[in-house]
Amino acid sequence: MWKGTVCGDVQYQKSIEAVAVNDGRVYAGCSYRQLANSSGMIGIYYLGRLAAYSSNGTRLWENDSGYVMGLYPLPDGRIIAGTVGGFVTFDGNGRFVSRNLTANKLYDFQIEGSNVYAVDGDFFTDNGSVTYVGHLYRGEVTDDGVVLKGWVLNFTSLVSRVRVGRRIIYVGAGFPSGYVGPGQFGYVYGVLPNGTLSWTVKTGQWVRDMELFENDVIAGTGEGTSEGYLYRIDPSGEVIWKKELFYTEDIETADGRIYVGGMGKGHGVLAAVDPKTGSVLWNQSFPSRVKVVRYVNGTLLVGIGRFESRQQNGTTVVYTQGSLYALDAKTGGILGVVKDIGYVRSIAVEGNVAVVGTASSNFYVIDIQKLAREGAEKKGICGPAIVIGLAMIPLLLRGRRWTLR
């Protein structure tokens, strides 16, 4: 349908890690890390911009936001941006409303009515040892945006995923999808509505993503380059089943099935899993990592991609490569593909419209039915080919490494 651009003038490596669409208005957050060298000290600033577009592709506004991890549009036209530093709220015209900071890097949040549940985490190195910290916050959405004035639960691990069930709040620990760091660890925690830790399941591998199925949680892990497990855990902390699968990046639960995307041995993989037994119903391979999966009326939108670095004139240049696929959710058959739009990092859906963010300044608004229909007729679609050169930035901050993957 059309392509939008955010922070096109930024020279640093950038990525649209979060997109949203609400009542036809499209939002895209472009995030990047700015390297600063002052008095011999190297620092990293996590920056970004948020832009709003109308349904026909007209840019309405763009404003500094910080490094955006997630977006939540409100019915009154405001939009909440979950950024690395906490929550930032803008009004319908893009004007800054409020900011509410978290103690560490905000990785994930879920809003249920007026209640906000958010997790942050970080790690610190000292003489070769690593210390992890994290929090689960309960707050509220008010007229001033997000206020984290409820309870806070402390963790001695980096918590990065939160999903709110009917009787329990599930929290996952580990470097989440899209990021890597030192050491292997992993837990799924069950937290009561009053903020009390009820139980812990140790996974031993990073919990990369979690989603609810009925009132249970489906948790996918990753270790190395292709290893991982999938868990189904009930509200009491009982592991209903645990299955060896592959390195998980994203989980979608819909239409009575679990869809898991990630990385196998040398290729991307998407699998449909039976929620009762954990058995794989079908799987489909892709040229590179499956980063994001969304279900829409029997169709799966699957974003894949990778980063490639090359030496050019003595400089390391990072390229983003990837495509968007449409699959039949029942069979796993490929219906269509938009090729070479860059590494797909985020997808949001409203009705028949999908907003697709890539590891660049660009996002795409796509007609889902047209993609599936034309793909079935033509056996694949080739969209505009784009290769984007991005300067690689050392991601060092006080001896820490926090890397996009």
- CA 214, CA 232: separation in Å to the nearest integer? 11
DSSP sequence for 300-365? EEEEEEEEEEEEETTEEEEEEE--EEEEETTT--EEEEE-SS--EEEEEEETTEEEEEESSSEEEE
Residue 296 confidence (pLDDT) = 97
Give the separation between CA 228 and CA 23, rounded to whole angstroms. Answer: 38
φ, ψ of residue 376 to 5 degrees: the values are -65, -35
- Rounded-to-5 percentages of helix, strand, coil across the chain: 5, 65, 35
pLDDT at res. 295: 98
Beta strands in 151-256 (DSSP E): 152-155, 159-164, 169-173, 179-180, 187-191, 197-202, 206-213, 216-222, 229-233, 239-244, 247-254
pLDDT higher than threshold 80 for residue 122: yes
pLDDT higher at 306 or 391: 306
Determine how many CB atoms are found less than 10 A away from the CB of residue 267.
15
pLDDT digits (tens, 9 = 90+) for 158-170: 999 999 999 999 9
Q: Residue 377 has what pLDDT?
A: 56
- The CB-based long-range contact list for 377-381 (8 Å cut-off, 24+ gap) reads 378/336, 380/334, 380/336, 380/337, 380/339, 381/336, 381/337, 381/338, 381/339
Distance CA 177, CA 317 (A): 23
User: What pLDDT, on a 0 to 100 scale, did the predictor assign at position 38?
Assistant: 56
Which residues contact residue 72 at a Cβ distance below 8 angstroms, ignoring those fewer than 6 apart? 20, 79, 80, 82, 109, 111
pLDDT of residue 128: 84
State mean pLDDT over 186-206. Answer: 98
175: confidence class by pLDDT, cuts 50, 70, 90: very high
CB 172 within 8 A of CB 187: yes
**pLDDT per residue over 26-84, tens digit each?**
999 999 988 776 555 556 788 999 999 999 999 999 999 999 999 999 999 999 999 99
- Taking CA atoms, 280 is separated from 143, 230, 260, 331, in Å, by 46, 11, 10, 12
What residues contact residue 381 under an 8 Å CB cut-off, 6+ apart? Answer: 336, 337, 338, 339, 371, 374, 375
Q: Write down all domains in the chain, each with its CATH number in brackets.
A: 1-64+296-405 (no CATH), 102-286 (2.130.10.10)
- Of residues 374 and 329, which shows the higher confidence score? 329
Alpha carbon distance 14, 181 (integer Å): 19
- Counting every residue written for the chain, the total comes to 405
Mean pLDDT of the chain: 90
- Smallest Cα–Cα separation from 86: which of 63, 70, 74? 70
